[in-house]
Amino acid sequence: MKEPVRVTVTGAAGQICYSLLFRIASGEMLGKDQPVILNLLEITPALKVCEAVAMELNDCAFPLVKDVVVTDDPAVAFKDAKIGLMVGAKPRGPGMERKDLIADNGKIFSSLGKVIDDVADKDIRICVVGNPANTNAYILAANAPSINQRNITALTRLDHNRAIYQLAEKSGSDIADVKKMTIWGNHSVTQVPDISFTEINGANAADKVDATWAKEEFIPTVAKRGAAVIAARGASSAASAANAILDHMRDWCLGSESGDWVSMAVPSDGSYGVEKGLIYSYPVVCKDGDYEIVQALEVSDFIKGKMVESETELKEERDTVSDLL
Ligand code: NAX
């Protein structure tokens, strides 16, 4: 039996985690042969609900779960953690844009960054989910300088999965046949879902759908899907977000499918002209527990223009949180 991996999950009493934790515990994230210790972090008023979640986790008698720790102390939660799923934050309500959340949520990520810097494993793999996810990851990274900066990422896999669904639906294809979807940029309405390199059964997807649809309907539908779910449900996406978190971390740790790639927001190394250090969504291939940004794609002028808009938004978000960096 392998050594257990310590997985810290913040916002553990919230709605995303209610879909997420049980699937981690069943082995859907790190594999059916990988035991886990689940450290659940919550704010003090939510501890009672968090205890209830822990009771239910225990009542599932998952063989892979070696311990469940409930705490409101980040230093306890992140001690020696190897995986950090940063879900805890204030969610976006009806009519709210992500920018409204920056001031509230940025502070959470600066203080957690400092704690992670002090107590976590230096190679902890982090996925920031709480919005604004990319900028929160940027804040966390700035406050955790001793942590492997490459490993501080944010979630755009939900956008990636939403884009695959929209394309499969429009083209009448099977979801399993859609490969090489790309989300560029920020997890916000400026994100750039891009089917230029996407394949359906090995053929170029762009040839299977109308070009006007791809530009004028597909992009905004994917980018505004989160708001559409909120409008329909009165609450933000939860099960699909949890599923995307599992996809993100599973592929990063265990490798993405051969012949395909996935989208992850990672610290830019300057690829595609994006300013170094910004947490920017790229197509990546995951292998041997690491990821590489897919290089040398010939991006159209239309997509490039949108990528720059999204980069500009990330720079603006960064500038509004300069006091937290
Ligand atoms: P909930 O409000 O159901 O749960 C959030 C939980 O976080 C609450 O239980 C709260 O007590 C806890 N929390 C708040 N501050 C905390 C802190 N400092 N430390 C630990 N826990 C803390 O929200 P939920 O629907 O689960 O969404 C969580 C976050 O995910 C939100 O910021 C939301 O906007 C974001 N999302 C991000 C997505 C993405 O693709 N990147 C998609 C889904 C989701 O909208």
Q: Say if residue 162 is in the same domain as residue 142.
A: no
Is residue 106 a known part of a binding site? Answer: no
Q: Say if residue 179 is in the same domain as residue 305.
A: yes
CB of residue 238 inside a 6 A radius of ligand 1: yes
Q: Say if residue 130 is in the same domain as residue 275.
A: no
CB of residue 13 inside a 6 A radius of ligand 1: yes
Report yes or no: 268 and 275 within 8 Å, Cβ to Cβ. yes
On the question of a cis peptide bond just before residue 132, with omega within 30 degrees of 0, the verdict is yes
- 295 CA → ligand 1 middle, Å: 33
Helix ranges restricted to H, 202-264: 211-213, 219-223, 225-233, 239-254
Residue 266 lies in a domain: yes
187 in catalytic set: yes
Residue 290: beta bridge partners?
287
Residue 266: beta bridge partners?
280
Is residue 205 a known part of a binding site? Answer: no
- 90 CA → ligand 1 middle, Å: 5
pLDDT computed for residue 55 by the predictor: 98
Span 195-231, pLDDT tens digits: 999 999 999 999 999 999 999 999 999 999 999 999 9
Span 119-131, pLDDT tens digits: 999 999 999 999 9
Q: Say if residue 91 is in the same domain as residue 180.
A: no
Report yes or no: 263 and 195 within 8 Å, Cβ to Cβ. no
Last residue in a domain, options 122, 154, 186: 154
Residue 65: beta bridge partners?
36
Which atom of ligand 1 is least distant from the CA of 155? 41
Of residues 303, 305, 315, the one with CA closest to residue 275: 315
Map residue 235 onto helix, strand or coil: coil
Of residues 159, 281, 163, the one with CA closest to residue 226: 159
pLDDT computed for residue 1 by the predictor: 82
Nearest CA to ligand 1 atom 3: 14
Last residue in a domain, options 131, 154, 177: 154
Other C-beta atoms lying within 10 Å of the C-beta of residue 288? 8
Range of 207's domain?
157-319
Of residues 187, 179, 132, 188, the one with CA closest to residue 157: 187
Q: Say if residue 310 is in the same domain as residue 234.
A: yes
Residue 324 lies in a domain: no
Residue 303 lies in a domain: yes
Which atom of ligand 1 is least distant from the CA of 108? 18
pLDDT computed for residue 95 by the predictor: 72
Using 50, 70 and 90 to split pLDDT, how confident is the model at 283?
very high
Is residue 34 a known part of a binding site? Answer: no
Q: Which of 187, 208, 248, 306 is catalytic?
A: 187
Map residue 82 onto helix, strand or coil: coil
pLDDT computed for residue 98 by the predictor: 62
Burial of 177 (0-12, 13-18, 19+ CB in 10 A): middle
- The rounded distance, in Å, linking the Cα atoms of 109 and 111 is 5
Which atom of ligand 1 is least distant from the CA of 237? 43
Q: Which residue is associated with the tokens 């051969």?
A: 258
- 3 CA → ligand 1 middle, Å: 29
Whether 92 has a pLDDT exceeding 70, the answer reads no
Residue 246 lies in a domain: yes
CATH number of the domain within which 247 lies = 3.90.110.10
Distances 146 to 2, 153, 166 between C-alpha atoms, Å: 27, 15, 40
Q: What is the pTM of this model?
A: 0.97
How many structural domains compose the chain? 2
Report yes or no: 44 and 85 within 8 Å, Cβ to Cβ. no
- The rounded distance, in Å, linking the Cα atoms of 79 and 266 is 24
Q: Say if residue 167 is in the same domain as residue 187.
A: yes
CATH number of the domain within which 115 lies = 3.40.50.720
Q: Say if residue 142 is in the same domain as residue 259.
A: no
Span 243-272, pLDDT tens digits: 999 999 999 999 999 999 999 999 999 999
Residue 188 lies in a domain: yes
Q: Say if residue 60 is in the same domain as residue 73.
A: yes
- The rounded distance, in Å, linking the Cα atoms of 65 and 199 is 39
Strand 199-200 to 279-287 pairing: unpaired
φ and ψ at residue 220, rounded to 5 degrees? -65, -30
Residue 203 lies in a domain: yes
Using 50, 70 and 90 to split pLDDT, how confident is the model at 99?
low
CB of residue 132 inside a 6 A radius of ligand 1: no
Q: Say if residue 168 is in the same domain as residue 145.
A: no
Residue 325 lies in a domain: no
Residue 142 lies in a domain: yes
Q: Say if residue 10 is in the same domain as residue 113.
A: yes
Using 50, 70 and 90 to split pLDDT, how confident is the model at 280?
very high
Q: Say if residue 43 is in the same domain as residue 116.
A: yes
- The rounded distance, in Å, linking the Cα atoms of 176 and 202 is 12
Is residue 105 a known part of a binding site? Answer: yes
Last residue in a domain, options 121, 154, 187: 154
- 170 CA → ligand 1 middle, Å: 31
Q: Say if residue 71 is in the same domain as residue 197.
A: no
